[in-house]
Structure 1
């Protein structure tokens, strides 16, 4: 029976720090105590939880599965203790968040920094990666994604409306002209992110799909690199409006074909199915909604984008 909280807390710290020695230091106990607690826990569980060599530790599949349950149980116990002691439901423990690189740097990281400053018992681990995140395998509590997720087993909460729009630096448009219709883009340079292929498919104010064709000369697997190219006047970029609000407001970038945008591509928070939402995750998600509501307001983009959104939202 797994009934010793010290064993469970020690197991969690070993997994988090990747070292028995680091866990002992963090917990303020001797290395022999940590080793004994882990051995006893494995004996109780009846399986090997962590593979140990002289050089490294690695979680077994059984250890990974148990760790998910241990973290949930300890979080619930610690939250209950906090409520009893203070009468408040205080965000605490380790919050692991996954987010796309560019969007994560601009929106997610600042929010997490402010949350950690307000709540001294909250720790944060932010993973920035543009690939699809394995919430269970990587122990991500909340994943932020742009566009509807492909995995139907995930629980999702919509945080903000969003569309992708065409932008370029004013200097680029001064040199090449300001297109008034999609056909005017033929021969102009496009900036492409990842494995995205042309044509880009956008919707006009009438809701009709239009293929956008550009000559791709610069491509990168880094969204930030593509964004920097656009700011430097290297070409036309298609990117989420939420990522572009500050650059548009400061006139560093300019809308291209303002009557066109992608189909809706909302921002979602994803959670693993069957997992209850912790106090810290709820606090983070609520803060994200407030942040993105400010950035996603019509005035942050343009009146035409607001008109397009109104037409696209009609049944």
Structure 2
């Protein structure tokens, strides 16, 4: 999850879904409730720790932190110097994940097909949308950006950082963190906390009571997000990043030949195919060796 969150456009929720810990993660987040507060106030710290599945959350957070600290420079370097092969690997990873998850939906009916198509359409709409430009909309927009971004972050196939880019808030958030703008950070964190607690409860309820349809919807998100991780893209719109650099915000998938014409760069077709297959193989290994244990 940490490695995925480093890459703009790839969701840590996708990795949680692939590795089979998604339900447990939602359950642990959902456990931050009034019952937890009551246990803490009574001094029953051990019971509170078990209530939120503390060992699981601590291990997960340690893994995310370790991944970010150890892989951040490598992935940042790959994004800068070899973006096309890196995107190809993630494309294979997510495509194989979506195909694996299709099996978990069970028997298909019109309602579940509609959920799959709705998820795919929504993720495609997000992936191909232009920036909204909310950077000067004030603190209510900051709260809303935190709320929406964290919801996207726990959804498979939709990246929270990518949502911030679409809202025009990515550079604003990074600058606020760099300058330690306490008011901005507090409002954004409050929005994120509210979004996490509310949305995790909704997803947890849906997976418990409407699991096949919800799985179909989430699988649709994965299929739609393939437009974001397609290796060869043409940028239609740009925004200024935190360091003054221009970042593509609206991109459309193109064929390797068109990519060569536009950029003059080698599309590295065979390397991309090999890395996409490697990503698919990684998902197959995870699914066969761990998820069915």
Q: Same fold (TM over 0.5)?
A: no
Q: Please, what TM-score do these two structures have when normalized by structure 1?
A: 0.21
Greater helix fraction, Structure 1 or Structure 2: 2
Q: Please, what TM-score do these two structures have when normalized by structure 2?
A: 0.22
Structure with greater contact order relative to length (CA < 8 Å, sep ≥ 6): 2
Larger radius of gyration: 1
